[in-house]
Amino acid sequence: MRRITLIVVILALYGTGMAAEAPSPSCPSGKDYTLAIHGGAGVILKENMTDKRESAYRKSLSKSLGLGGQMLEEGYSALDAVQFVVMALENDPKFNAGKGAVFSAAGKNELDAAIMDGRDRNAGAVSSVTTIKNPIVLARAVMENSRHVMFQGQGAEDFAKEHGIEQVDPKYFYTKRRYDQMKRKVKANKVKKHSFLDTAETKYGTVGAVAKDGCGNLAAATSTGGLTGKEFGRVGDTPIIGAGTYADNRYCAVSATGTGEFFIRAGVARDICSRREYLGESIAQSSNHVIHKTLTDMKGDGGVVAIDEQGNYSFAFNTPGMYRGANKGGKTLIEIFDAK
Ligand code: ASP
């Protein structure tokens, strides 16, 4: 992507919902950056996926990865890169965030998002919002323009109004595919009440990104519609700092996807960073331990994208697949299925 195209893309996304100034580069430009993204984990099997569908997902992942990579290369901050990557994925109806989010059992789209700045561990989060076009934009506004970390429901919507953040009719989030999924799930749950997992259809579809920029700073961002058929007022791990999202310049940045309840109970994202801090593990060791041992022992499922302060990245997931991609200094990779 040429520089001018990048600015146009940023401004087009920016126009969709921010009151603050458009971002501009603040770090040295060059190849000293890393970006890792995900579009959800779950029962994603090659044999259940048409070539057309697979290539559509690859295209979406590659587009957002391209945008974030180009931003980092041009000297934009990790915080801006993860925010814009997540905005692009929120606007893509294939993923369970923003447009195309899953439905609650009551037939609503209730969205959660969080962003964290590894420089000072400042963080912003929103939960259960129903009119915010890009919840990650609101999470960033909470981080930068309030003395609190998380706003939920009506309060979050009021905060958005006060700060000029774009709101839409809740119908904007509707997709037939997600609505039908919820109907099937609610029907199945009449038999198996409160089950999280149902059929081979279980895919989490949350979106997230972690990055290290040319200044050496880390950031993480995650956004989701939660779980299909979730009960009233349910909040998952995505907006919980330390569960689904975490960033600390000294050790790591993490964004998670999966059965949120388990990620909250295990404090997954913070634990991955803590293992590096206390045990000196590599990012691959700590993320694999937390996903393949801690989470798996608890019978939770899902995965993470994680990077360390050197820009090494790791994907860890215990599901058959996870939509994911990485760009380390221009070397890119996009994967969907488990390689094993
Ligand atoms: N972790 C999200 C939640 O529990 C769901 C997902 O990853 O798709 O809300």
Per-residue pLDDT of the chain (340 residues; tens, 9 = 90+): 677 788 888 888 877 655 567 899 999 999 999 999 999 998 888 888 899 999 999 999 999 999 999 999 999 999 999 999 999 999 999 999 999 999 999 999 999 999 999 999 999 999 999 999 999 999 999 999 999 999 999 999 999 999 999 999 999 999 999 999 888 888 876 544 444 544 445 677 899 999 999 999 999 999 999 999 999 999 999 999 999 999 999 999 999 999 999 999 999 999 999 999 999 999 999 999 999 999 999 999 999 999 999 999 999 999 999 999 999 999 999 999 987 6
20 within domain boundaries: no
pLDDT at residue number 202: 64
pLDDT at residue number 187: 81
227 within domain boundaries: yes
Instruction: Provide the number of structural domains found in the chain.
Output: 1
104 and 234 Cβ atoms separated by less than 8 Å? yes
End-to-end alpha carbon distance in the chain: 33
Q: How is the chain split among helix, strand and coil, in percent rounded to 5?
A: 35, 25, 40
Phi, psi of 20 (to 5 degrees): -70, 175
Q: Which of 185, 228, 257 to mutate to test the pocket of ligand 1 (most atoms within 8 A of CB)?
A: 257
Q: Give the residue numbers spanning the domain of 262.
A: 29-337
Ligand 1 atom showing the smallest separation from residue 226 Cα: 9
5 within domain boundaries: no
Gap from CA of 27 to ligand 1 centroid (Å) = 32
Nearest by Cα to 301 from 320, 329, 323, 326 = 320
Query: What is the 8-class DSSP label of residue 43?
Result: S
3-state secondary structure of 281: coil
270 within domain boundaries: yes
pLDDT at residue number 199: 43
What number of CA atoms fall less than 13 Å from residue 333's CA on the CB side?
A: 14
Residue bearing the CA closest to ligand 1, atom 4: 260
- Which residues, including other chains, have CB under 8 Å from residue 27's CB and lie 6 or more apart? 75, 76, 77, 213, 214, 215, 217
19 within domain boundaries: no
Angle at 70 between CA 64 and CA 75, to 5 degrees: 130
Gap from CA of 302 to ligand 1 centroid (Å) = 9
9 within domain boundaries: no
Nearest by Cα to 110 from 170, 162, 169, 166 = 170
274 within domain boundaries: yes
Q: Is 0.85 topped by the overall pTM? A: yes
- Which residues, including other chains, have CB under 8 Å from residue 292's CB and lie 6 or more apart? 316, 318
CATH of the domain at 275: 3.60.20.30
Residues pairing with 220 in the sheet: 116, 210
The whole-angstrom separation of Cα 273 and Cα 254 is 8
pLDDT at residue number 141: 97
Nearest by Cα to 113 from 259, 19, 211, 220 = 220
Gap from CA of 206 to ligand 1 centroid (Å) = 6
What is the SS3 assignment for 158-210? HHHHHCCCCECCHHHHCCHHHHHHHHHHHHHHHHCCCCCCCCCCCECCCEEEE
pLDDT at residue number 1: 64
148 within domain boundaries: yes
